[in-house]
Amino acid sequence: MPSYKAPVEEILFLLRDVFPIQRYNNLPGFAEATPDVVEAIVSEAGKLCEETLQPLNQPGDRAGCVRGKDGSVATPRGFKEAYRAYVEGGWVGLAADPDYGGQGLPFTLAAIVNEFACSANMAFALYPGLSQGALAALLTHGTDAQKKMFVPKLISGDWSATMNLTESHCGTDLGLLKTKAVPNGDGSYALFGEKIFISAGEHDLAENIVHLVLARIEGAPAGVKGISMFVVPKILIEADGSPGPANKVTCGAIEHKMGIHANATCVMDYDGAKGWLVGEPHKGLNAMFVMMNEARLGIAIQGLALSEVAYQNAAAYAKERLQGRALPGPKYPEKPADPIIVHPDVRRNLMTIRAFNEAARALIIWTALKSDIAHRSSDKTEVQAAADSLGLLTPVLKGVLTDMGFDNTVKAQQILGGHGYIEEWGMEQFVRDARIAMIYEGANGIQALDLVGRKLPKDGGRAMMGFLGEVKSFIKDNEADASLAPYLLGLQQALAHLEQATMWFMQNAIANPENAGAGSYDYMHLFGLVALGYMWVQIANAAIASKAAGNGDAAAMEAKLLRAKYFMERIMPETSAHLARISAGAETMMALPAAQF
């Protein structure tokens, strides 16, 4: 039976020593987030996730969701009570607008709670998690009446939400979608069509489900310019806000999938379901993108979350499992064998995972703070810079954290040997659950294209220049510090590779966009390594300061410095391979005729 302990101390170190959130006290909601409040919230969230959500994770995987003949869906035993506890704790609306019942605390804190919840029970966390994107879309594009009708109930968690994009013949290419919206003449529309892969499309946790649906208004132009967004409640709402009759949207089937069995992935049938336009007609994609950016950061968090819980269980096993002897001779001669943590190759796997986890967590907080600034600051320059970083880093985090997170669950599973392959030990579930994060909310290849094709050239490369400038400033500000030099060196080399790769695109991809496509995936990962390395030098900096001040756990700080060194020695060398692959260009791969694949 796997276990989970929320990394509360890690979070407090990051918010106190690495990115002191007190610096942002000028932003709405941050002044309330005093150190005491932050500690109380993080601890309380950790406790809920450890005690309530985690014990349901393995049984939930085994039981899965069950669809009744009437199209209703039952979640696994215990999920209803857990959802109730989650909602009553106010966790759904932690960072939401107080005007609609939210607590208005920093989004950064919500991102942290999301990590804990996904580590404890990813399939569960998806149910409330999906409301975040819907809230963003409705608050940005909804009418006042729509906001009033849907937002408070979503923030309270009484209702949940879904995103309905994919149809069987189109996922990435939404321009092909066929779901139709016919005006009813009363301002509402009747929706007809079938959507697939709808996470949390139907379930028994919330009183109502608010579907945000992409569809084409009858007579709309073909392609992406004819897509509109609609809000379609599962249960219609009367004028007084009370529940009305069921809408004509039903779950046609539950998909049988590799993992996240406890989350209902539904085929949704729209058979004249009543919906209301959100935002302008034919501009549904813009509205949906608001939702997707929020969601993508949430998926990146899943990558870290599963890497973290897999690490914890693998490390515990490595410290307990007695097998063989240390290479230079027995370390525990009184025992029948040494624990496998004595073996360099076991340590290599564990340190690789953890060197990722700590930097990824820092990167998520760094990015979430940018999001808070972008959404809450009144300083336009600051908002623009933060929004630039957020937009640029979102595909990097989604793609890199989910790829590396998945790889790490595989590495952690390997440490358990044969036990890792057996369901009972829980490691293989982490692998199966983590796998979806690389696919949904835009497969990672699409993230790479978004980065290289859209985010990089946007505004003349302003966001990229901003990011490079920030990293270079940090290096410059600290290059005189000899204690930081070993870490800075690795970052500098990686940064040089990133700049060379960027230059290569400028020289080669404008004439031939396939050169950008061919290098996009490696570029995304190269970028990710630089971003993670930038986090490590900041963590190392804080650890050195903490040690010098003598105000923390010196052994823990020393361990961080070793992991920072490990990251530079063992993970950063990959940047040169990425650069070599990017520089190879598209020629060879495009020369092969399709028939030869």
What residues are annotated to the active site?
441
- Answer yes or no whether residue 111 interacts with a copy of itself by CB under 8 A: no
Stretch that binds a copy of itself, among 209-217, 334-342, 362-370, 470-478 (CB under 8 A): 334-342
- Answer yes or no whether residue 431 interacts with a copy of itself by CB under 8 A: yes
Among 170, 182, 235, 387, binds a copy of itself (CB under 8 A): 170
DSSP 55: G
Closest CA to 148 of 212, 209, 100: 100
| Shortest distance, position 512 Cβ to a copy of itself, whole Å | 7
Of 145 and 595, CB closest to a copy of itself: 595
- Answer yes or no whether residue 351 interacts with a copy of itself by CB under 8 A: yes
| 3-class DSSP string for 565-582 | HHHHHHHCCHHHHHHHHH
- Answer yes or no whether residue 496 interacts with a copy of itself by CB under 8 A: no
Q: In angstroms, rounded to a whole number, what is the distance separating the alpha carbons of residues 330 and 409?
A: 29
| Shortest distance, position 518 Cβ to a copy of itself, whole Å | 4
Of 85 and 439, CB closest to a copy of itself: 439
Of 157 and 519, CB closest to a copy of itself: 519
Q: In angstroms, rounded to a whole number, what is the distance separating the alpha carbons of residues 416 and 432?
A: 16
In 141-227, where do the E strands start and end?
159-164, 180-183, 189-199, 208-217
The count of chain residues that interact with a copy of itself, using the rule CB under 8 A, is 98
Stretch that binds a copy of itself, among 22-30, 119-127, 301-309, 510-518 (CB under 8 A): 510-518
Closest CA to 357 of 43, 540, 115: 115
- Answer yes or no whether residue 66 interacts with a copy of itself by CB under 8 A: no
Placement of tokens 């020695």 in the chain? 569
Of 52 and 429, CB closest to a copy of itself: 429
Stretch that binds a copy of itself, among 150-158, 323-331, 365-373, 464-472 (CB under 8 A): 323-331
Among 85, 220, 235, 443, binds a copy of itself (CB under 8 A): 443
- Answer yes or no whether residue 432 interacts with a copy of itself by CB under 8 A: yes
Among 241, 324, 330, 469, binds a copy of itself (CB under 8 A): 324
DSSP state letters, 78-134: THHHHHHHHHHTT-TTTTS-GGGT-----HHHHHHHHHHHHHHHHHHHHHHHHHHHH
Stretch that binds a copy of itself, among 2-10, 150-158, 410-418, 455-463 (CB under 8 A): 410-418
| Shortest distance, position 260 Cβ to a copy of itself, whole Å | 9
Alpha carbon dihedral 222, 228, 233, 238, in 10-degree steps, equals -120
Among 185, 333, 336, 550, binds a copy of itself (CB under 8 A): 336
Q: Which of residues 538-567 bind a copy of itself (CB under 8 A)?
A: 555-556, 559, 562-563, 565-566
The CA–CA distances, whole Å, from 400 to 154, 195, 208, 354, 421 equal 30, 28, 35, 15, 25
| Burial of 480: CB neighbours in 10 Å, binned 0-12, 13-18, 19+ | exposed
Among 278, 305, 362, 516, binds a copy of itself (CB under 8 A): 516
Q: Which of residues 129-168 bind a copy of itself (CB under 8 A)?
A: 166
| Shortest distance, position 342 Cβ to a copy of itself, whole Å | 8
Stretch that binds a copy of itself, among 113-121, 319-327, 357-365, 477-485 (CB under 8 A): 319-327
| Shortest distance, position 331 Cβ to a copy of itself, whole Å | 9
Q: In angstroms, rounded to a whole number, what is the distance separating the alpha carbons of residues 107 and 93?
A: 10
Q: Which of residues 445-484 bind a copy of itself (CB under 8 A)?
A: 445, 448-449, 453
Q: State the pairing for strand pair 73-74/208-217.
A: unpaired
* CA 333 to chain CA centroid, nearest Å: 45
- Answer yes or no whether residue 418 interacts with a copy of itself by CB under 8 A: yes
- Answer yes or no whether residue 346 interacts with a copy of itself by CB under 8 A: yes
DSSP 51: I
Stretch that binds a copy of itself, among 210-218, 250-258, 356-364, 496-504 (CB under 8 A): 250-258
Of 154 and 304, CB closest to a copy of itself: 304
- Tokens for 460? 């003349």
| Shortest distance, position 251 Cβ to a copy of itself, whole Å | 16
Judged by DSSP in three states, 244 sits in strand
Closest CA to 416 of 352, 346, 351: 346
Among 183, 330, 469, 573, binds a copy of itself (CB under 8 A): 573
Q: 268: which strand partners?
A: 195, 251
Q: What string marks each residue from 74 to 93 as x (binds a copy of itself by CB under 8 A) or -?
A: --------------------
- Answer yes or no whether residue 354 interacts with a copy of itself by CB under 8 A: yes
Stretch that binds a copy of itself, among 35-43, 94-102, 275-283, 575-583 (CB under 8 A): 575-583
Residue 592: which residues within 8 A CB-CB, separation 6 or more? Answer: none
The CA–CA distances, whole Å, from 2 to 138, 265, 413 equal 38, 25, 12
Asked if 69 and 106 touch (Cβ cutoff 8 Å), the reply is no
Q: Which of residues 260-289 bind a copy of itself (CB under 8 A)?
A: none
Q: In angstroms, rounded to a whole number, what is the distance separating the alpha carbons of residues 128 and 77?
A: 17
